[in-house]
Every structure is written in structure tokens, then in C-alpha cells.
Structure 1
Amino acid sequence: MLALGLVAVSVQAQQADVRAAKRALTEYQVDPNASKAKLKEAVAAILPDPSGEDVSDPAFYVLKGEILNLLATQIVTVKQTGFGSLEELPQVDRVAVKAFNALTTAVEKHAQAINSPAYLLSDALNGIQEAQAHLYNFGIYAFEVQDYGSTYLNFSSALAAHEILKKEGRFSVLDDALDLMDHKYVTGMAALKNDMPEAARPLFEDLYRVKYDKAAVYEALYTINASGEDADLETAYQYLKAGREKYPGEVSLMFAEINHFLKQNRLDELIDKLKTTITREPDNLTLYLTLGSVYDNLYQRESSAGNSEQADKYFDQAFTYYSQSLEKDPTNFDALYSTGTLYYNRAASLTMTLSEMSGDFSAAGRGQFEAMEAEVFAAFDKALPYFQRAEQINPNSVETLTALKEIYARKNEPETSKALDQRLENLQHGGTYETSFFNE
């Protein structure tokens, strides 16, 4: 008997909350300006889900959705008109999503109930139509502050609302096919920005199937399939290839393809891609630097394999493209540093050969050693001005200072090498420089 009494009290308490919510809602609707506190009372009363018998009552969830929709309307009004204060309103996180979830639950409870009146389903669907508009607005608000998780949650809920409304033969703001595709697109982009590739996948796959006219769809599908533990680069590239064929002038797809070949170390194939892209983007310094880097990598590969003739050809090509980027922008740090590194690596490679020759003490051997040594110093000398100019542009580059320190040490200028080493140590311990060593 005591247990039954406790259950009865619990149900009555919950029912009292529902009555309080209805009463507060009615009083607020009569005079919303004079009774803002009543809206707070109504929200506070319906936020806990019911217990006992009311847990299956769709009426409660319709009421909850109605109150939260009302709060969402007030928030949108303040944001759009600038009148009133958001601080005066009840503070409910993701209010539009909670309104939609409550009304969705009402539809589910109505379907499960035996004698639930038809007007409850109609009220719930009306509420979902209202919530759908709020979901879009709150998704936009979240996007504006780069809260992509909330953006996705609101936009995806609006899509779910569309499915429910269509099933019940109701109007949806996404009835127009193009509007629906646009909404799927922004929802998918929000998912990607929030690092949710699997949530984005079905949205972009739908857009791909209906040939939605945006190049970003192909890039998104490439990114989704090329990422993660289950990356499928072959499938990813098929999407990228289709996008390149459909949008041959789209720069973002060009760079995605370039990065694809770079990641796979397919450097020979990449060269033609880059040259083609340069003809379309002749002022894009990144393309020249990338192509120079590709030739630089090929030079190092052939040099390591002992193919000196082919290595020299690749070296010259790398220098040519680095130089072209410097012709367009003589102060480009990356171009200066890359050119210096090209010569520096050549000198380092020759130094290894020089070390192997050091054991030959014959006259011919000494002659070859001295000739190679001169070539090493010549390469370091050619690297030096590029690193100096790079350091003048960015005096806080650890890599540049390291190279300069080593070059001056090899040139037998210990004071300069030591001074550069001191600057390097300062950077490595968190220090910074406003002026260049070579401008002091």
C-alpha cells in the first residue's frame, strides 16, 4: 500500500507540473510583455520528461514542443529585430532541437497509443512545421559563430522534420527539390567542418547521385573516402576524377588532385598535372613552388640511386621553377628557402661522396678529392644568399638559422656560426626576433 501511495504521489506531482505549465503558458500568451516570468515557469515545468503513466501520453510532448517553440520564436524575434533582451528569456541550450525532439516523440507516442485523439497528431505536426523553421534559423546562428556541431545538429534535424512531414502528407519548407539539395549541402559541409565524415557521407552521396551542381561535392567525397583508418584512396580518386572532368577549371579540385599524387609519391604523374594547372593559374606561386619541389624530390631520388645525369636534369628543372616563383615575388620566403635548400642538399650529397674519396691518397685520388671539395663549397656558396634573404624576411625560422650556422661553420667563419647558433638556441627556448641577423 505504501509503494502504491508513493507511485500515486509521483504521478500526481508530474500531472501538477503539466497543469502548471499549461497555466503559465496561458498567462504568458494573454500578456507576453507583462509576464516574462510566466514563460520561464512554463519552460521549467516541462523540461523534465514525465514519469509514471504520463510517459506514454503524447499530449505532454505536444505541450513541451509548443512551449519550446514559443521560446525559440522569442529568441529569433530578439535576434532579428534587436528589441528586447535574450537574458530576460529562459536559457535553454539547443532549444529548437529540443522542441523538435519533443514533437517527434509526440508523433511516436500517438502511433503507439490505442485511443489517442487525431487532433494530437495534427498539433504535433503543426509544431514540427514551426520547429523546422526554427531549426534553420538556429543552424545559421551556430554557423555564424563557427559552432559547426550545433550547426549540423540543427540542420540535420530540419532534414528529419522534412521526412516526417512528407510521410504525413504535410507541407515542408524543403519541398522544393533545389532547396532540399541546398540544405543537404550545407548540412554536409557543417558535418565535415566538425570532423564528422561519416555523418557527411550519405548527404554528399545523395547530392552526387542527383548531380548537384557544386564542385565541392566531389572534393568532399574525396576527403571522406581518403581519410581515416578505412581510407579507400581508389574510390576517393574516382570521385575526384569525376569532379575534375566536370569542373576542369576548378582550382580547389586541382589542388586536391595535386595533393593526392603527392601523398602517394606518384611524382612523375604529378608533373603533367602541375604544368597543366600552371597554364590556367599562371600567377599562382604555390604551383611553381610545388612543381619545383616535385623536381627536387625526383633529383634526390635519382641522386641516391647514382643516376647522376638524370639527377642533374631534375635539379635544373627544380631550380627553374623555384626561380620563376622568385621572379614573380622576390620576397617570397618559401621560394627563397626552397632554393637555398636545393643547393644545400646538393652540397650535403656531394659531401657524402667526398667522404668516400678521402681514403684515396694517390695523386689522382687527391686531385679528384680537391675537385669534389671545390664543388661542395661552390654549392654551399650558392645556397648562402638565398638563406640570408630568407632569414631577413623571417628571422624566426629555425630551419633557416640551422642551415646558415652549418654553412658558416664549413666556410671557417666560427664567430658568425657561433652568433647564429646563439640565436637558434634562443628560438628553441621560446624566444623571438623582430629584426634579422643580417640587418643588425
Structure 2
Amino acid sequence: MKKLILSMALIGATTLAFGQKKVVRSAEKNFKSGDLAAAMSDIEAATADPETSSDPATYLLKAKIQTKMFGSDSTNTEKTLEVGKAALGTYLEAFEMAGSDKTAGVGEEVYEADMVGVPDNLRPYSIETLKNTAFDKAIDRYNENDLEMAYSFFDLAGEVDLTDTTIHYNAGFLANDLGMYEEAKRHYKYLLEIDGYNKLNAYYSLVQIQSGQDKDPEAAYETIMAGRKDYPEDKILAEYEIQLLLQLNKMDEAMAQIQEALKNDPNNASILLRSGYLKEQSGDIEGGLADYKKAVEVDPDYFEGNYYTGALLLEESVKMLNTLNDLSDAEWEVQSPIVGKKADENYKEAVKYFEKALEIRPDNTEIMAILFQINTRLKNTAEAEKYNKMLIELKGPNWMEDGE
């Protein structure tokens, strides 16, 4: 009798297990036929039952069903995205249950290469299928100018594959454009980890965020140092390094880098400008002015070069005139015409640079005001009135009272 009872129990258990496996087979049949609601209902029952819930193949099938549901939803909304995220979670659960081995069994099936372009019934519906589907949805949203959802789908695709440079570059670019700077940095940092990839644009973008939005020049400088190690000949990274050294007030290091950069690129206008700035700050006014002027010679349309040259000439004129204040009346009578003439020479030279700067940026009211003041000083009445009219038109008749 005991043997009979035991046999009946075994038969019952076998029947139950067979019944649950039948549910899994039903889920697979519905998945292949496209009845995804029925397939999901079946597979949910299978994952809830102790007899089939411990089998990684059950979760792989669930992930495939979720991926097919994700792909079949053409609305590409936040709701669609949630289905894709759920599919990713299920794939990873199946992979972990299978021993996290990509070379055998369910683990190998999870990461089976997707065959894009083949009939639907031949696609493996692996995690790679999820990645490619998410990428396609990102492109669809981007083409419809729905940039937030485009980013979200790129981000999902990137979670599947941290080494896909196209996905992470697009995700980083969109996140940066949307002001999602932490997300942008995350994607750019993924790119920096990939061997053989041209990382220059990732370095440029990451440095700009760290030094700009984050206001963290120390972090930006660390990134630059890593970039300079990877690309020691890159001129843009060399310029960024100099700029950051100036921000960090590391003047000696900045000058050393400037001199090294100018050896390799003697006609780089922006580096010449920085060289001039450092010389000016150290008290070498003539050297600074010479570098500013050379920057303009190299690039006549360089706004900063023209502006800095004019500003330094103007500043030196003011200093000259201020020295007269400390003289006795007798000394003033002698020195005033001499100093005034030299100051006017600087003013006249400064006009050329400020006029060019205004030509480059024709709406710059600060430069208009400077040109008004210089021409007034030089008694160029017609020119002074020209700039007065321009300022009245742009800022109103009381522009002088507004701090100009």
C-alpha cells in the first residue's frame, strides 16, 4: 500500500510538471503566432509556478515576448519604453540564473547575434534584438524631433551594450543638447573606456561640461590630462589645457605649455592670445601687445585678438594720462603735450582694432561706447556722433546713464 501511495504521488508530481511545461509551450506557440497578450498570460503563470519558475529558459522566453511587444508598439512613448526596460531586466535575470555564461545554454541564447533584415520568424529575439529595436525607435523619435524620447531609447540600447560607440555617442550628444549633463557625462565616459575608438570628441564634450556647466576646472583638467596622454599631438586639447591652467591660476605651467604649443603651432591665434595675456599679467606689456597683434595678423577676423589689442592700447593710454596727475604744475606744462601725444597715438591705433572687432560683432554696444569715447577724446566729432546714433537706436537716448 505504501508503494502504491508513493507511486500515485510521483505520477501526480509528473503530471503537474508536465502541465506547467505545457503552459510554457503554449506561451512559445502564442509568441510565434503573434498572440502576445496570450503569450504573456501564459508565461506569467509559468514564472509564478515553482515547477517552472526556476528554469532560466522560462525567463528567456518571457524576455523574448516582452521584446516582441516592445517592437510591435509603434507609438514609441514612455509606456513603450517601460516594456523595453522590463525586457532588459528579464534577459539579465535569465542570464544570471543560467550562470552568467555567454558561451553555453541559455546564456548563449540571451546574447545570440541578432539577424537584422531577415524574416521575423528567423530573428533570435535575443538581448541584441532588444538593442537594435531600441536603436530604431530612437532614430524614429529623433526624426520626429522628439528628442527626449530619442535619448531614452538610445539610453536603453546603450544599457544593453556599453561598447557600442554609435549608440553612446548619440546618447551623449542628445543628453548634452537637452541639458542632461550627468547623463551626457556617463555616456562620454563609456566611450573613453573603449579601446581603438577615436575619443577626441568625447574628451572635448566632457571637458566643456566639467569646466562650463559643472564649474569644476579640476575635474576638467584631469580629463584633459588623460586626453593629452591618449592624443599628445592634438592642438585643441593643448588649447584646453592652457585655458584650464589659467583658470586654475597655474601661470608657470600655463606659460610652459604655451611655449611648447607655439613650437608645434606658431600661427595658432588663440594660443598667441593666451601667451599675450600671460605676458601682460606678468608685467611684460610690450610682449603681451606683440602677441595680441600677431594673433590678429594670423587671423584678422579673430574677435578676441582685435578686442584684447585695442583694450591694452586703451589701458596704456589711460595709464599715461594718469601719470600727469602726480606732477607739479610746472612739470605738467612740460610733460602734458608729450604724454598726451603718445596717448593719442595709442588711441588712434586702438580705434583700428575696435572697429574691426565691431565689424565682426556688429551688435556689440560695449565696443560702440568705447569708440564713441575714443573719438570724442580725439575730437573726431563726426565719428563720435555716428556711434552715439547707433547706441541711441539700440539702447535709447539715455544710453550714457545706463553704465556705458
**TM interval, short-chain normalised:** 0.5 to 0.7
Cα shift at 1:261: 2.0
Letter aligned with residue 405 of structure 1: F
Q: Which residue of the other structure, out of 289, 292, 297, is the alignment partner of 1:322?
A: 292
Letter aligned with residue 399 of structure 1: E
Q: Deviations over 1:52-80 (max 9, x none)?
A: x99x98999976753441244xxxxxxxx
Q: Which residue of the other structure, out of 303, 327, 345, is the alignment partner of 1:378?
A: 345
Give distance in 2, aligned partners of 1:332 and 1:208. 32
Which residue of 1 is the match for residue 244 of structure 2? Answer: 260
Letter aligned with residue 260 of structure 2: T
Letter aligned with residue 270 of structure 1: A
Q: Which residue of the other structure, out of 344, 352, 360, is the alignment partner of 2:322?
A: 352
Which residue of 1 is the match for residue 369 of structure 2? Answer: 402
Cα shift at 1:286: 3.1
Q: Deviations over 1:123-147 (max 9, x none)?
A: 9x93754332111223345556776
Letter aligned with residue 323 of structure 2: T
Q: Deviations over 1:108-135 (max 9, x none)?
A: 9999xxxxxx9xx999x93754332111
Q: Answer whether contact 2:67 2:87 (CA < 8 A) is retained.
A: yes
Cα shift at 1:252: 2.8
Which residue of 1 is the match for residue 71 of structure 2? Answer: 69
Listed as ranges, the matches of 1:138-287 within 5 Å are 138-142=137-141, 149-161=148-160, 179-180=163-164, 183-208=167-192, 211=195, 213-216=197-200, 217-223=202-208, 225-226=210-211, 231=216, 233-287=217-271
The runs of 5 or more residues in structure 1 that have no matched partner are: 1-21, 31-41, 73-90, 112-117, 163-173, 303-310, 431-440
Q: Answer whether contact 1:333 1:390 (CA < 8 A) is retained.
A: yes
Which residue of 2 is the match for residue 33 of structure 1? Answer: none
Alpha-carbon distance change, 252 to 158 in structure 1, aligned in 2, over 3 angstroms: same
Q: Answer whether contact 2:91 2:127 (CA < 8 A) is retained.
A: no
Listed as ranges, the matches of 1:83-94 within 5 Å are 91-93=75-77
Cα shift at 1:406: 0.7
SS of the residue 1:248 aligns to: coil
Q: Which moved more, 1:234-243 or 1:400-409?
A: 234-243
Q: Does 1:103 align with 2:87?
A: yes
Give distance in 2, aligned partners of 1:145 and 1:356. 70
Alpha-carbon distance change, 61 to 285 in structure 1, aligned in 2, over 3 angstroms: same
Letter aligned with residue 418 of structure 1: E
Percent identity, aligned pairs only?
Answer: 20
Give distance in 2, aligned partners of 1:419 and 1:235. 47
Q: Answer whether contact 1:96 1:138 (CA < 8 A) is retained.
A: no
Q: Answer whether contact 2:172 2:187 (CA < 8 A) is retained.
A: yes
Cα shift at 1:257: 1.0
Alpha-carbon distance change, 390 to 156 in structure 1, aligned in 2, over 3 angstroms: closer
Give distance in 1, aligned partners of 2:93 and 2:228. 49
What's the TM-score, normalizing by structure 2? 0.63
Letter aligned with residue 159 of structure 2: A
Give distance in 1, aligned partners of 2:179 and 2:204. 15
Alpha-carbon distance change, 319 to 236 in structure 1, aligned in 2, over 3 angstroms: closer
Give distance in 1, aligned partners of 2:233 and 2:370. 39
Q: Which moved more, 1:390-399 or 1:148-157?
A: 390-399
Q: Deviations over 1:211-265 (max 9, x none)?
A: 554343444554555455683x444423311321321112331222122123234
SS of the residue 2:125 aligns to: helix
Q: Deviations over 1:21-67 (max 9, x none)?
A: x9xx99x979xxxxxxxxxxx9xx99xxx9xx99x989999767534
Q: Answer whether contact 1:96 1:135 (CA < 8 A) is retained.
A: no
Which residue of 1 is the match for residue 394 of structure 2? Answer: 427
Q: Answer whether contact 1:215 1:253 (CA < 8 A) is retained.
A: no
Give distance in 2, aligned partners of 1:182 and 1:108. 23
SS of the residue 1:126 aligns to: coil
Cα shift at 1:407: 1.2
Q: Aligned residue pairs: how many?
A: 328
Cα shift at 1:409: 1.4
Alpha-carbon distance change, 286 to 150 in structure 1, aligned in 2, over 3 angstroms: farther
Cα shift at 1:272: 3.2
Alpha-carbon distance change, 234 to 350 in structure 1, aligned in 2, over 3 angstroms: same
Which residue of 1 is the match for residue 134 of structure 2? Answer: 135
Cα shift at 1:92: 4.0
Alpha-carbon distance change, 110 to 249 in structure 1, aligned in 2, over 3 angstroms: closer
Give distance in 2, aligned partners of 1:107 and 1:392. 60
Give distance in 2, aligned partners of 1:420 and 1:276. 42
Give distance in 2, aligned partners of 1:424 and 1:322. 28
- Report 1 or 2 for greater relative contact order, CA contacts < 8 Å, sequence distance ≥ 6: 1
Cα shift at 1:383: 1.6
Letter aligned with residue 392 of structure 2: E
Give distance in 1, aligned partners of 2:92 and 2:300. 67
Alpha-carbon distance change, 244 to 126 in structure 1, aligned in 2, over 3 angstroms: same
Alpha-carbon distance change, 243 to 381 in structure 1, aligned in 2, over 3 angstroms: same
Cα shift at 1:421: 1.1
Which residue of 2 is the match for residue 37 of structure 1? Answer: none
Alpha-carbon distance change, 144 to 429 in structure 1, aligned in 2, over 3 angstroms: farther
Give distance in 2, aligned partners of 1:202 and 1:334. 33
Alpha-carbon distance change, 372 to 135 in structure 1, aligned in 2, over 3 angstroms: same
Give distance in 1, aligned partners of 2:314 and 2:194. 53
Which residue of 2 is the match for residue 411 of structure 1? Answer: 378
Give distance in 2, aligned partners of 1:137 and 1:202. 22
Q: Answer whether contact 1:65 1:98 (CA < 8 A) is retained.
A: no
Cα shift at 1:157: 1.0
Give distance in 1, aligned partners of 2:340 and 2:194. 65
Which residue of 1 is the match for residue 305 of structure 2? Answer: 335
